[in-house]
């Protein structure tokens, strides 16, 4: 199944490393004009330098409404948005009573508020085009529980999933599809590597044995699904939360 994105303008958040970087590079390699966004300028430079296609970059805090609007407007009407920005912001699992409001807000804002602001900013352009694709990268934590025990992350990802469904309902009449990918355990960045190491050999073995395909995920596993959902092949798929996790009971 050949998929191309020649002439398409694509925005990818969280593109400074890991899953977002892989998605941005894959869109560019398939002909898209990609705008890669992240708070990490050095990471964005690596993403751009390793690309086989056209990637421009901009440093952006996706929780800043004015900056989001300005950045999106400067790029022009995008037909595809992938919101991959998020994560746990360096936090680790702690008892509920130890979580400060600042800890909570830091995670909820980048994962859920960021998804809302980015979708809000690209929607007028997509409506003007009469079509669009929005893909959020959520998490299995938003469907089940956070393996790291981070309450805000599980809540934010569940909220991102709810937002995806609601936007699909609202934007469908304008030819815009909105879907979410909920990855399983993907070793894609320093945070997930630290998590993997924290399990130790026995915990790592238990995790892998709980996956039907007996391996952890790769960035390309998530990128491949993203490319499909963004393509014309997925034109009648919207409001869906697709788990890409190697199979779990």
Burial grade of 129 (CB within 10 A; 0-12, 13-18, 19 or more): middle
Which residue is listed with tokens 């602001």? 117
Q: 150 and 102 in contact (C-beta within 8 Å)? A: no
Helix (H, G, I), strand (E, B) or coil at 136: strand
Q: 79 and 126 in contact (C-beta within 8 Å)? A: yes
Alpha-carbon span 6 to 27, nearest angstrom: 9
Q: 226 and 30 in contact (C-beta within 8 Å)? A: no
- Known catalytic residues are 153
Q: 159 and 108 in contact (C-beta within 8 Å)? A: yes
Burial grade of 2 (CB within 10 A; 0-12, 13-18, 19 or more): exposed
The neighbouring-strand residues paired with 245 are: none
Q: 137 and 222 in contact (C-beta within 8 Å)? A: yes
């Amino acid at each position: 199944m050949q998929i191309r994105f020649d002439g398409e303008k694509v925005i990818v958040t969280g593109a400074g490393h890991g899953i977002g970087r892989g998605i941005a590079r894959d869109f560019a390699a398939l002909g898209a004009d990609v705008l890669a966004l992240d708070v990490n300028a050095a990471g964005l430079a690596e993403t751009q330098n390793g690309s086989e296609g056209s990637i421009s970059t901009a440093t952006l805090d996706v929780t800043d409404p004015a900056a989001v609007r300005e950045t999106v407007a400067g790029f022009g009407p995008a037909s595809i948005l992938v919101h991959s920005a998020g994560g746990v912001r360096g936090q680790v699992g702690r008892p509920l009573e130890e979580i400060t409001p600042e800890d909570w807000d830091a995670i909820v804002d980048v994962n859920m508020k960021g998804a809302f602001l980015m979708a809000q900013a690209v929607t007028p352009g997509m409506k003007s085009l009469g079509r669009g694709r929005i893909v959020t990268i959520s998490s299995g934590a938003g469907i089940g529980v956070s393996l790291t025990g981070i309450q805000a992350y599980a809540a934010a990802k569940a909220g991102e999933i709810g937002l995806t469904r609601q936007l699909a309902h609202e934007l469908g009449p304008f030819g815009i599809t909105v879907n979410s990918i909920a990855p399983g355990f993907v070793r894609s960045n320093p945070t997930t590597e630290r998590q993997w190491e924290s399990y130790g050999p026995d915990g790592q073995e238990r995790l892998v044995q709980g996956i039907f395909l007996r391996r952890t995920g790769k960035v390309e596993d998530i990128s491949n699904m993203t490319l499909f959902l963004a393509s014309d092949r997925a034109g009648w798929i919207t409001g869906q939360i697709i788990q890409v996790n190697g199979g779990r009971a």
